[in-house]
Structures are given as C-alpha cells and as structure tokens.
Amino acid sequence: MKVFLFFLTALTINFCLIERKDSREIQKKNSLNDQKQKDLKKAYFASGCFWCVESIYESVLGVEEVYSGYAGGKTENPTYEKIITGRTGHAEAVEIQYNSRIVSFENLLQIFFGTHDPTTLNRQGPDKGSQYRSIAFYQTESEKETIENYISYLKRNKSFENKIVTEVKPLEQFFYAEEYHQDFENKNPYNPYIINISLPRLKKFQKKYSEFLKTDEGH
C-alpha cells in the first residue's frame, strides 16, 4: 500500500512538473508571438505591375507577406477591370507586411527605387497608363520625411539621368486585388508576361540586392 501511495505521489508530481513546463512553453510562445506582432509593420508602394512587385518583396528577408491591390485613387471598391482603364485614379500597388527588427522601412524604400524606373511618367516597361505610375506611400510623417530625404539623396548623387517623377502620397486606403492576382507569379510560372517581363525583373533584383534575400529555408 505504501509503495502504491509513493508511486501515485511521484506520478502526480511528475504530471505537475510536465504541466508547469508546458505552461511555461505556451507562455514563452505567446510572448514571442506578441513581440512578433509588435514588430510587424506595413509599407505600401506602387511601381508597375503588382505581379512583379509582389514577387520581389516576397523574396526579401524579414518580409512576412505581400498582397497585391489598388491605392492612390478616389474610386470606392475598385476592380481590376475598372483600374486598367486608367480612369479610377488608382495604381497597382502592394501591401508589404514586414518584421521591422529584420528589415527596415528604409531598406524597403531602397529596394523600391532600385527595382523600377522612377523617371517614367505613367509607365513601367511595356505597361502604360496612370495605373502603372510610381508612388511611395506614407502612413506617418516620419515615413514621409524618410521618403523625401531618400529622393533628395538620389538627386544629389545623380542616380538617374532623368527627373524622378515618383509621387509621395499619404495612404488613404488600400483595396486588396482579386484573389487570382495574389501570388500570381508563383501560381502561373508559364504565363508569357511572367516569363518575359516579371521573372527577368525579379532575377535582376536578386543579383543586385543579394544581401536582402531570404535563404532557401525562407529565414
């Protein structure tokens, strides 16, 4: 009987220790998740076809997710069919959700100006129309100042032969594009536009900014 009681007591203590350990692990995991949410920020840019831009930022270390959408116009609830007319005022844009401890807004801005031509008005490569114009959106005065300072830096250093026409605009609203546009490049690798326009643009970025790339494991 004493042996049984001893075994039962030991088993109970063991279960308590396991529960405490599990509880600590859960608390630790929740704490890490809370910190990750605090570090997670959003940035918004428009620099041509969002299929291309999305795939570029998806490959950046510290970027958690990228969504294609529409921003910069006045029309409510724009659709792809409406914005391609160029009459809604919206541009094809992306929402970048990033870990600010790993990659900064300044880094994302550097990639933005380094992966498209900010000197072509209402055009990016073969795509023409106001929906393909260059826009750097800001959500705070700090972001606005960062964008303006970086543009001044590019001008001082004569980084581009022609005048920079990128718009610097406050983000009023971002409308998510239709589901078939999300992650389009990965889902449609044999699409002619992806093969001839998007992939070369992505590879050029990967070669130019290798220090920003995720590893094969995505970290």
pTM attached to this predicted model: 0.82
Residue 30 — very low, low, confident or very high, per pLDDT cuts 50/70/90? very low
**pLDDT on residue 209:** 95
As a whole number of angstroms, the distance between CA 108 and CA 212 comes to: 10
Residue 99 — very low, low, confident or very high, per pLDDT cuts 50/70/90? very high
Domain 39-212 adopts which CATH fold? Peptide Methionine Sulfoxide Reductase; Chain A (3.30.1060)
Q: Which two tokens stand for residue 185?
A: 């490049």
Question: Does position 150 have pLDDT exceeding 80, yes or no?
Answer: yes
Q: Which residues contact 176 (CB under 8 A, 6 or more apart)?
A: 67, 68, 69, 95, 182
**pLDDT on residue 28:** 43
As a whole number of angstroms, the distance between CA 67 and CA 45 comes to: 11
CB 42 within 8 Å of CB 94: no
Catalytic site residue 49? Answer: yes
Q: Which of 49, 66, 108, 135 is catalytic?
A: 49
**pLDDT on residue 215:** 82
Beta bridge partners of residue 137, listed in sequence order: 169
Fill in the DSSP letter of residue 60.
Answer: B
